Amino acid sequence: MPQSDRFAGKTIIVTGSSGGIGEGIARRFHAEGGNVIINARNAEKCKAVAATLDPARTLVVPGDVSKSAFANEIISAAVERFGGIDTLVNNAGVGGASMLHKTDDDEIDRIIDINVKGVMFLCRAAIPHLREAKGSIINISSVSGIGGDSMMPVYNASKGAVTNLTRGLALQVGGMGIRVNAINPSITRSDMVEGITGNDALMKAFMQRVALGRIGEPEDIAAAAAFLASEDASFITGVNLPVDGGVSASNGQPNFLAFM
């Protein structure tokens, strides 16, 4: 359960927070007293989420994280409104399933630009401010960035990059007092995975690999994010934390090729 006011006076940017995991994370930080920046490319969806939160502690900054200039824009907006940044949650991301030899340049660019470059751009822009706050970065990676899925090679590569960026950046900025960690979810309820959760045969096969017998909920990821951003995690950095119901303890993920 949220601990009231644990993040009072703290400012948290959550990219991709107009729904799904990102919305769950933003709501968790807001429920614990934090100032939250809501972001996604769809401004109307961002405004709909913000409308349910305290306007004094909420800022909507819609935009595309894959654009370098936007990283500076959202950081500047957060600093101007709330005076600084304490936590950056890089949640914005896209999926994609295909065979690599049938994947065109535009699809590769789409996945890498958002899932990898977007994270790098935001981290780069936020580091000077996080250094002042002795804050933290939380990257939302994936169990696909630890292992692999047969039909998601480009997505796997993008999340593998986030996984290793988390490790390397933690070493680089630890001396500045900045912690960098990642959460690696498995299938978690959101619009992004409706194509999987709506396939009964695929879900039956997948559930055989989930020790806890269910898919994740946004609240599961939000709880882990709140912990990693809190003082309880003050000696934790460079960690890629699977929050997946036990999938990463099993022998890989289902062979999606059998279902496509």
User: pLDDT tens digit string along 191-221?
Assistant: 766 666 666 767 776 777 788 888 889 999 9
> What confidence score (pLDDT) does residue 255 get?
45
The tally of CA atoms less than 13 A away on the side-chain side of residue 229 is 32
> What confidence score (pLDDT) does residue 152 get?
84
Per-chain mean pLDDT for the chain: 90
Residues of the chain with pLDDT under 70: 1-3, 148-150, 192-199, 201, 205, 249-260
* Cβ–Cβ < 8 Å for 77, 36: no
* SS3 (DSSP) at 42: coil
- Measure CA 64 to chain center: 15
pTM value is 0.92
> What confidence score (pLDDT) does residue 47 get?
98
Q: Which candidate in 7, 70, 82, 155 is catalytic?
A: 155
Q: Identity (one letter) of the amino acid at 155?
A: Y
- Residue of 228, 92, 112 whose CA lies nearest to 170: 228
Domains and CATH numbers, the chain: 11-190+216-245 (3.40.50.720)
Q: Is 155 annotated as catalytic?
A: yes
